């Protein structure tokens, strides 16, 4: 058969046309698939069918990200596939990272294998792990490292449903053979906090002093970090206090400061006469600190060696004994938005007394006090020669936190404004629950009907003048919620579609095509 005749053959024409159409169809499908993949990757066109939308970001988060003006690079210290496969929860973290990347053209997401790039880790003081995530601003070169515990929160429970601290979880499991666990996704919230920390044009630096057995409080640290404060540890014995520190925290020291360290603090508070600094001092439970006591008296504050007990049952915390009291916070501009039905709670607080109310350019005022009906219980009450009688002790309202302010004025006439340095002293009492005594401990800070956490962060924001409108609070989402819930009827419908309707449709189409072909 001639070649020209072969190409004119009816079977060839029909068969060749089918081949060409099939090839074109396959090519179109491939192109559509490639284009769709690019679009899905760039614009995050995906669907979250989880019960609590654990793979999605909040609309408030999207608005925040779309308004970013700084360029932020997010670097995951593993290849993407390895990171998503590290644990049963890391895939969710990776999805949130991709949502952040898709929500803003100012965000660049990268994956770097830590083991293959040791030189990269050197820049970050080798503090990286394969599950670390780095947030870095191109404008100011600030960075923040997040670790697994920042974006995945594990909560452990005993058999009664009480929370077991993570550091004791394994010991409890071994002892009792049981340990309940729930895991919460905190990636979205922690990522926002990290971006705020590296992009804030005027970061607020908080120095946490060490060197004299000071405690630390994870609760207050977390609040500060969530509000984009930058916390630094500084050994006051070995180092000077950096000028750009806005706050210092001295948390329940167990030893007294020397004149040398107190001189550093005084010079920092004075700031070459410019002021603008704030010291937070949480008094120890029992440690004698005569040098520091003298320093505070110069500022008009004395922490007495005595506890404040509330005898009036209306203000006691039910079931917690005389030392656990409802406290009264003195109204201030930063307490205006507090829920009036919520309280500030405190326990085993030392009496903080105002030595004077005003002297020269210094003033003092109470921040928190007891309600009326409290008594002052001296440390010496258990001494053999003590004649203290609680029944005869005078009752009243006694302060447990006092603020001292040193003021100067800048400018002249109507343009004058005041600049202050402040010391805030809290009679923290016994150090239980992780530092800061019994006012800002985890128990009171996490109570649903307390203003303790609000008092602390509003106080800090009020003093620093920090804009709180940029703060976004995202509720952690539990992984225990089923990812996809459907009803029995929905299950039946899906079964009918995939097991009956779809196969019958395919068969019907095939029969139609076969009949049409044999008739040609």
Q: What H or E segment, with its residue span, contains residue 170? A: helix 166-176
Three-state SS for 253?
coil
Strands (E) located in 139-274: 143-146, 152-157, 163-164, 180-185, 204-210, 229-235, 245-251
Model pLDDT, residue 269: 97
Model pLDDT, residue 331: 78
Model pLDDT, residue 47: 45
Q: Is the pLDDT of residue 497 over 90?
A: no
Model pLDDT, residue 32: 67
Distances (CA, A) of 508 to 399, 494, 496: 86, 20, 16
- For the chain, the structural domain boundaries read 1-43, 244-450, 491-520
Three-state SS for 111?
strand
Check residues 18 and 272 and name the one with the higher pLDDT.
272
Mention every residue, 6+ apart, whose C-beta is less than 8 A from residue 194: 133, 135, 144, 146
Q: How confident is the model at residue 491 (pLDDT cuts 50, 70, 90)?
A: low
Q: What H or E segment, with its residue span, contains residue 325? A: strand 324-329
Average pLDDT, the chain: 80
Closest CA to 46 of 90, 98, 87: 98
149-158 pLDDT tens trace = 889 888 787 7
Calculate Rg over the CA atoms of the chain: 32
Show the CA angle centred on residue 388, arms to residues 384 and 389, nearest 5°. Answer: 125
Q: How confident is the model at residue 138 (pLDDT cuts 50, 70, 90)?
A: confident
Q: Is the pLDDT of residue 441 over 90?
A: no
261-308 pLDDT tens trace = 999 999 999 999 999 999 999 998 888 999 999 999 999 999 999 888
- The first and second tokens of residue 362, run together, are 């210094």
Q: Is the pLDDT of residue 478 over 90?
A: no
- The first and second tokens of residue 134, run together, are 């780095």
Three-state SS for 78?
coil
Mention every residue, 6+ apart, whose C-beta is less than 8 A from residue 367: 329, 330, 332, 399, 401, 402, 403, 424, 459
Q: Is the pLDDT of residue 8 over 90?
A: no
Predicted model pTM: 0.69
| Nearest-angstrom CA–CA distance, 254 and 260 | 17
Mention every residue, 6+ apart, whose C-beta is less than 8 A from residue 143: 124, 134, 135, 136, 137, 198
């Amino acid at each position: 058969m001639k070649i020209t005749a072969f190409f004119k053959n009816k079977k060839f024409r029909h068969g060749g046309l089918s081949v060409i159409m099939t090839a074109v169809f396959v090519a179109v499908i491939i192109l559509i698939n490639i284009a769709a993949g690019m679009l899905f990757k760039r614009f995050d066109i995906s669907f979250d069918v989880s019960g609590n939308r654990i793979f999605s970001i909040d609309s408030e988060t999207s608005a925040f990200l779309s308004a970013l003006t700084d360029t932020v690079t997010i670097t995951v210290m593993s290849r993407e596939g390895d990171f998503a496969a590290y644990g049963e929860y890391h895939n969710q973290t990776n999805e949130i990272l991709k949502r952040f990347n898709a929500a803003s053209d100012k965000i660049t997401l990268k994956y770097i294998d830590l083991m293959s790039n040791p030189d990269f880790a050197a820049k970050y003081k080798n503090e990286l792990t394969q599950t670390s995530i780095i947030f870095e601003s191109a404008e100011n070169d600030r960075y923040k490292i997040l670790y697994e515990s920042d974006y995945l929160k594990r909560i452990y429970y005993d058999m009664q449903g009480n929370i077991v601290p993570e550091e004791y979880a394994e010991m409890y499991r071994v002892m009792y053979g049981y340990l309940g666990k729930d895991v919460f996704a905190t990636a979205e919230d922690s990522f926002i906090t990290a971006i705020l920390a590296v992009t804030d044009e005027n970061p607020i630096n908080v120095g946490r002093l060490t060197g004299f057995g000071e405690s630390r409080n994870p609760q207050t640290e977390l609040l500060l970090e969530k509000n984009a404060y930058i916390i630094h540890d500084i050994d006051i014995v070995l180092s000077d206090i950096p000028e750009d520190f806005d706050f210092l925290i001295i948390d329940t020291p167990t030893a007294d400061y020397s004149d040398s360290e107190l001189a550093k603090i005084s010079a920092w508070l004075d700031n070459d006469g410019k002021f603008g600094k704030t010291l937070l001092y949480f008094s120890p439970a029992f440690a004698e600190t005569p040098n520091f006591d003298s320093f505070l008296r110069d500022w008009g504050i004395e922490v007495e060696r005595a506890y404040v007990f509330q005898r009036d049952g209306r203000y006691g915390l039910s079931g917690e004994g005389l030392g656990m009291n409802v406290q009264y916070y003195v109204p201030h501009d930063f307490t205006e938005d507090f829920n009036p039905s919520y309280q500030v709670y405190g326990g085993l607080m030392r009496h903080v007394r105002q030595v004077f109310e005003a002297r020269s350019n210094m003033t003092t005022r109470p921040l928190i006090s007891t309600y009326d009906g409290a008594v002052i219980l001296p440390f010496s009450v258990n001494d053999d020669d003590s004649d203290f009688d609680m029944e005869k002790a005078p009752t009243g309202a006694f302060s447990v936190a006092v603020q001292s302010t040193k003021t100067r004025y800048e400018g002249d006439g109507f343009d004058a404004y005041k600049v202050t340095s402040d010391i805030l002293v809290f009679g923290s009492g016994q150090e239980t629950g992780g530092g800061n005594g019994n006012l800002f401990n985890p128990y009171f800070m996490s109570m649903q009907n307390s203003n303790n956490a609000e008092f602390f962060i509003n106080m800090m924001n009020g003093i620093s003048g920090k804009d709180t409108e940029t703060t976004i609070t995202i509720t952690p989402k539990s992984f225990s919620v089923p990812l996809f819930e459907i009803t029995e009827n929905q299950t039946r419908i899906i079964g009918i579609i995939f097991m009956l309707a779809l196969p019958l449709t395919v068969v019907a189409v095939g029969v139609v095509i076969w009949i049409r072909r044999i008739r040609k």
